[in-house]
């Protein structure tokens, strides 16, 4: 079975462009630990375009965490910002690259559009 | 804030101590050494031979350093001490306490200095609500240093205390047994470092250590670039000087801000990034310094919402409300990672970008932020308008820790009917509709001039015009002659008289023929105290002159109202308001607090501070600056600085030199007669 992590990076690579990364340049590498091994993903960001390769490469920003946690980020079930504050993510190099990249993760799957909320309450 | 405390700060690292430089744990007030929303020292008590110290005087050298002149013993009428002590405390990312002891006698002094040290590692959100910590605390003595620690799962925060002079260290503090020569001195520098994950706290979060800035030089350079003011009004010059210094102190370098500073909201509760506060402070200060605005725009753009998240109330395009770094954010006990519960920050973001360009001519930033700005404008209609009827509404999705009121009056009772009833949710407050109107108008200008998108500009202008028409139909209370503070979920107008209507003038959503009615109310006896305009007018059921958002006077609120008065041509009224504020500030050493009591001026003759108000508070600090802009009628116009001064009765002359902008630097001056 394909892991949520692989699926996430695969989607990212196929889209190949994110408007929020316009003006950002740099390489981020993810070192994801699992079962005594470390899996590497490298993302090269250049003016909104990005390219993902499943390999170790020199990077401006290195993000270390576990694959289990990263699966959670990829599914939106774990919030990366809070995990970072708990030191479950360790960052070396240019923090700002991670702070941009973190915005690409999806939100919680059960999140509601604010309109659904007002519609719920509206029906007497 | 209490009169008996001394504060020193460097961005979100700050110390609140007593008048001897000591710290004693308090459950009601944040006393201690704080960094990144965590307390790193709650007990820090120096005694000499078992005696407490008394204060001769305190010298607040700079906002990041204080000197305490002390002698041993209880306070008494006369002091005849054999010893005296100077404590020089400073905060520059870490906390330093330099203790110098002087022996004034002609014989050696054998003394024992004891410093009790301890910490509870409270999160800033725990101070008011002390509870059992979920993690484990520990103390360790190592290599002559004392390490205080807290561990919860992977979350480790530590305080490392060391001394330059040799000390006997135990788990509860440091002891120095000394023999000081006749007329000799002894000194030690105590270093208190905040650590995260075993290393410097900042480094632990951002992964690399940036060199420690030369705080004083950097501040001096920043202050040098601020326009110089001269005036016959001492109240005004004192207030201006105080404001500029406080503004420098509140500047805060966020982890993601690439070393650039932006205003934190206020000491001690709000030393972090707030979307609304940062934007409004940046707007107030734009004619004086534009770097706060530029950093605020970039940083808030970086954190703009992109997904839906109920706990954080995040939505695509939404500008954040509050960002925190402490334990409660880490373990999701509070939603500040970041929290997006504000309905006004998003349109205000667009307003700030446009105003920033008008002053600075920095079209490049407008280009860079085009995507974020379009997303913010889209948010207004796609997520803000939850009822689908053309207004921005709010209703929290995080019912446990989210804010009920997501406008600036964000206490639970901040919005009410005249008879005291609270409206249902969602709510649409009036000033937010004004901000939305302004955002669309300004967004249209940016689209036309910078993004080469006429069709989008026309659409925004059309939407703005429709919003203005709709708003003037639904919010106007014809029998009262003012605008309702909000619409209830069923569209009923919430009929209390509030300061919110003043913001409508600033935004330009008021029909010109209704403006004079609105102004009559604003400066009428129900709202205007003589010092300023109350949040809620007398005669409303919930009115309380010492109620946080229901009767107090908020300086920042008044500054935007004054700006609005000028926009609609009520220059003399704006000057009256400015005068009241400046005179209030003069009573408070030039420092306007977050809020003061809404008593009538001729009742108290003194601006009574709201009890737990933050001070300094960024948007109160920005208030005198916006008032100056208002009094001088300063506007960027055709690449030049234009002025149209209208001064208050009791100020004869105001001159502002070196006002920065797209024109380089220019002067602005006004005088009576």
The partner residue sitting opposite A115, judged by closest CB among B302, B371, B386, is: B386
A79 touches chain B (CB under 8 A): yes
Instruction: List the CATH number of the domain containing B369.
Output: 1.50.10.10
CA gap A82, B138 in Å, rounded? 24
A82 touches chain B (CB under 8 A): yes
Same domain, B271 and B360: yes
Average the pLDDT over B46-72 and give the result: 89
Nearest to B238 by CA among B588, B607, B619: B588
Percent of chain B with pLDDT over 90: 78
Backbone angles phi, psi at B373, to 5 degrees: -70, -40
Same domain, B259 and B197: no
Contact A81 B387 (CB under 8 A): no
Same domain, B321 and B460: yes
Average the pLDDT over B12-25 and give the result: 90
Instruction: List the CATH number of the domain containing A44.
Output: 3.30.1050.10
E strand or H helix at B188: strand B185-196
Q: For residue B637, count CB atoms less than 10 angstroms from its CB and return exposed for 0-12, middle for 13-18, buried for 19 or more.
A: exposed
pLDDT tens digits for B325-346? 999 999 999 999 999 999 999 9
The chain B residue lying nearest A106, using CA atoms, is B307
Contact B395 A93 (CB under 8 A): no
CA gap A55, B649 in Å, rounded? 72
Q: Which domain holds residue A84?
A: 4-122
Average the pLDDT over B294-303 and give the result: 92
Same domain, B179 and B276: no
Same domain, B181 and B40: yes
> What is the domain count for chain B?
2
Q: How distant is the Cα of B337 from the closest Cα of chain A, in angstroms?
A: 6
Q: Which of left, alpha, beta for B614 (phi over 0: left; psi -120 to 50: alpha)?
A: beta
Contacts of B17 (CB under 8 A, 6+ apart): B5, B6, B7, B23, B31, B44, B89
B312: tokens are 């954080």
Same domain, B58 and B87: yes
Same domain, B233 and B130: no
A41: tokens are 């993903």
The three-class DSSP label of residue B309 is strand
The domain boundary, picked from B162, B182, B206, lies at B206
Cβ-based contacts of B325 with chain A (< 8 Å): 85
Contact B331 A103 (CB under 8 A): no
Name the band, by pLDDT with cuts 50, 70 and 90, for residue A123: very low
The partner residue sitting opposite B397, judged by closest CB among A85, A93, A117, is: A117
Same domain, B477 and B346: yes
DSSP assignment string, B415-438: S--TTSPPP-SSBEEHHHHHHHHH
Cβ-based contacts of A99 with chain B (< 8 Å): 255-256, 302
In chain A, beta strands by DSSP E = 25-34, 37-46, 49-53, 61-66, 90-93
pLDDT tens digits for A37-46? 999 999 999 9
Residue whose token pair is 């340049």: A25
Contact B153 A107 (CB under 8 A): no
Determine the pLDDT at residue B1: 42
CA gap B598, B605 in Å, rounded? 12
Determine the pLDDT at residue B233: 96
B16 touches chain A (CB under 8 A): no
Same domain, B144 and B39: yes
Is residue B1 a part of any domain in this protein? no
What residues are paired with B150 via a beta bridge?
Answer: B137, B157
Q: How distant is the Cα of B129 from the closest Cα of chain A, in angstroms?
A: 22
- What is the overall mean pLDDT for chain B? 92
Residues B212/B638, Cβ–Cβ less than 8 Å: no
A88 touches chain B (CB under 8 A): yes
The domain boundary, picked from B182, B206, B230, lies at B206
A47 touches chain B (CB under 8 A): no
Residues B625/B560, Cβ–Cβ less than 8 Å: no
Name the band, by pLDDT with cuts 50, 70 and 90, for residue B126: confident
Q: Which of left, alpha, beta for B435 (phi over 0: left; psi -120 to 50: alpha)?
A: alpha
Residues B396/B453, Cβ–Cβ less than 8 Å: no
Same domain, B492 and B471: yes
Q: For residue A15, count CB atoms less than 10 angstroms from its CB and return exposed for 0-12, middle for 13-18, buried for 19 or more.
A: exposed
Mutate to test the interface with A, among B36, B135, B150, B207 (most CBs of A within 10 A): B207
A77 touches chain B (CB under 8 A): no
Residues B17/B43, Cβ–Cβ less than 8 Å: no
Q: Which domain holds residue B445?
A: 215-671
pLDDT tens digits for B497-533? 999 999 999 999 999 999 999 999 999 999 999 999 9
**pLDDT greater than 90 at residue B393:** yes
CA gap B596, A59 in Å, rounded? 53
Q: How distant is the Cα of B345 from the closest Cα of chain A, in angstroms?
A: 17
Cβ-based contacts of B304 with chain A (< 8 Å): 20
The three-class DSSP label of residue B230 is strand
The partner residue sitting opposite B330, judged by closest CB among A23, A82, A106, is: A82
The domain boundary, picked from B155, B179, B206, lies at B206
The chain A residue lying nearest B36, using CA atoms, is A85
Residue B632, number of CB atoms within 10 A of its CB: 22
pLDDT tens digits for B232-275? 999 999 999 999 988 888 877 666 656 667 777 666 666 778 99
């Amino acid at each position: 079975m394909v892991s949520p992590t692989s699926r996430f990076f695969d989607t990212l690579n196929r889209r190949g462009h994110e408007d929020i990364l316009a003006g950002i340049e740099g390489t981020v590498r993810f070192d994801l630990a699992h079962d005594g091994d470390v899996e590497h993903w490298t993302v090269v960001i250049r003016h909104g375009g990005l390219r993902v390769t499943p390999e170790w490469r020199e990077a401006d920003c290195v993000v270390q965490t576990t694959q289990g946690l990263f699966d959670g980020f990829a599914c939106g079930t774990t919030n990366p910002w809070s995990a970072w504050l708990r030191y479950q993510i360790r960052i070396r190099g240019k923090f700002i690259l991670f702070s941009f990249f973190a915005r690409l993760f999806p939100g919680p799957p059960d999140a509601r559009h604010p309109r659904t909320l007002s519609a719920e309450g509206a029906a007497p | 804030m209490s009169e008996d405390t001394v504060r020193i700060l460097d961005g979100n690292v700050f110390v609140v101590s007593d008048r001897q430089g000591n710290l004693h744990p308090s459950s009601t007030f944040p006393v201690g050494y704080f960094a990144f929303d965590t307390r790193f020292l709650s007990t820090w008590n120096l005694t000499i031979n078992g005696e407490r110290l008394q204060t001769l005087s305190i010298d607040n050298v700079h906002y990041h350093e204080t000197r305490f002149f002390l002698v041993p013993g209880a306070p008494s009428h006369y002091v005849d001490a054999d010893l005296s002590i100077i404590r020089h405390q400073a905060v520059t990312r870490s906390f330093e306490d330099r203790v110098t002891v002087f022996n004034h006698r002609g014989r050696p002094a054998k003394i024992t200095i004891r410093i009790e040290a301890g910490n509870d590692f409270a999160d800033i959100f725990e101070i008011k609500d002390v509870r059992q910590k979920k993690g484990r605390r520990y103390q360790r003595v190592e290599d002559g240093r004392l390490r205080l620690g807290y561990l919860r799962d992977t979350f480790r925060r530590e305080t490392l205390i060391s001394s330059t002079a040799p000390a006997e260290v135990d788990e509860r503090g440091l002891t120095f047994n000394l023999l000081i020569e006749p007329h000799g001195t002894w000194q030690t520098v105590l270093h208190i470092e905040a650590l995260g994950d075993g290393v410097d706290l900042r480094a632990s979060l951002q992964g690399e250590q940036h060199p420690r800035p030369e705080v004083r030089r950097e501040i001096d350079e920043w202050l040098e670039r601020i326009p110089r003011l001269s005036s016959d009004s001492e109240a005004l010059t004192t207030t201006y000087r105080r404001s500029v210094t406080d503004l420098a102190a509140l500047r805060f370098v966020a982890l993601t801000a690439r070393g650039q500073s932006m205003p934190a909201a206020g000491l001690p509760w709000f030393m972090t990034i707030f979307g609304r506060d940062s934007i409004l402070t940046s707007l107030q200060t734009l004619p004086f310094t534009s770097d706060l605005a530029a950093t605020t725009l970039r940083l808030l753009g970086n954190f703009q919402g992109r997904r839906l998240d109920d706990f954080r109330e995040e939505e695509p395009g939404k500008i954040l409300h509050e960002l925190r770094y402490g334990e409660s954010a880490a373990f999701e006990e509070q939603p500040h990672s970041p929290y997006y519960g504000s309905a006004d920050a998003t349109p205000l973001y667009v307003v700030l970008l446009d105003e920033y360009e008008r002053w600075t001519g920095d079209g490049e930033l407008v280009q860079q932020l085009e995507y974020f700005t379009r997303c913010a404008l889209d948010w207004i209609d796609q997520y803000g308008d939850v009822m689908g009827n053309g207004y921005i509404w709010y209703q929290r999705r995080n019912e446990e820790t989210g804010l009920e009121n997501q406008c600036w009056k964000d206490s639970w009772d901040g919005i009410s009917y005249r008879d005291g009833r609270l409206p249902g949710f969602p709510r649409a407050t009036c000033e937010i509709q004004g901000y939305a109107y302004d955002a669309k108008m300004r967004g249209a200008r940016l689209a036309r001039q910078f993004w080469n998108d006429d069709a989008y500009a026309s659409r925004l202008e059309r939407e703005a015009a429709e919003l203005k028409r709709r708003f003037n139909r639904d919010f106007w209370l014809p029998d009262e002659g003012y605008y309702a503070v909000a619409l209830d979920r069923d569209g009923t107008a919430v009929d209390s008289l509030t300061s919110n209507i003043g913001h409508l003038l600033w935004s330009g959503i008021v029909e010109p023929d209704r403006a004079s009615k609105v102004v009559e109310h604003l400066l009428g006896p129900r709202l205007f105290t003589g010092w300023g305009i109350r949040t809620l007018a007398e005669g409303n059921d919930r009115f309380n002159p010492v109620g946080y958002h229901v009767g107090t006077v908020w300086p920042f609120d008044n500054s935007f109202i004054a700006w609005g008065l000028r926009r609609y041509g009520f220059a003399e009224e704006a000057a009256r308001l400015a005068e009241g504020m400046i005179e209030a500030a003069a009573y408070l050493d030039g420092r306007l607090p977050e809020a003061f009591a809404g008593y009538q001026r001729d009742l108290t003759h003194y601006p009574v501070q709201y009890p737990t108000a933050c001070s300094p508070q960024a948007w109160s600090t920005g208030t005198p600056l916006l008032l100056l802009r208002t009094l001088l009628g300063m506007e960027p116009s055709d690449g030049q600085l234009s002025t149209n001064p209208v001064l208050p009765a009791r100020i004869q002359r105001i001159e502002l030199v070196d006002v920065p902008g797209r024109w380089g630097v220019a002067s602005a001056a006004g005088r009576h007669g």
